[in-house]
Amino acid sequence: MRRTPRIRRPREPASRPQVVAHRGSSHESAEHTLGAYVRALDEGAEALECDVRLTADGHLVCVHDRDLRRTAATHGVVSTMNLAELDELDFASWKNPWADLDDEAPDRDPEEGRVLTLRRLMEMVADYDRRVELAIETKHPTRYGGLVERRVVETLADLGWDRAGSPARVMSFSLNAVNRVRRMAPDLDVVMLVERAHLWPVLRPVVGDDWIVGPGVRELRAHPGLGRHLVRAGREIHVWTVNTPEDLDLCLDLGVTAVITDRPAYVLGLLDG
Active site residue 75: no
Determine whether 64 is an active site residue.
yes
- Catalytic residue of the set 27, 64, 223, 229: 64
User: Is residue 25 a contact partner of residue 264, using CB atoms and an 8 Å limit?
Assistant: yes
State the alpha helices, DSSP H only, in the chain.
34-42, 69-72, 83-86, 118-127, 147-158, 175-184, 200-203, 217-222, 224-232, 245-254, 264-272
Backbone torsions φ then ψ of 31, nearest 5 degrees = -55, 145
Angle formed by the axes of helices 34-42 and 118-127, nearest 10°: 20
Report whether 238 contacts 260 (CB < 8 A). yes
3-state secondary structure of 59: coil
| Residues that are catalytic | 22, 64
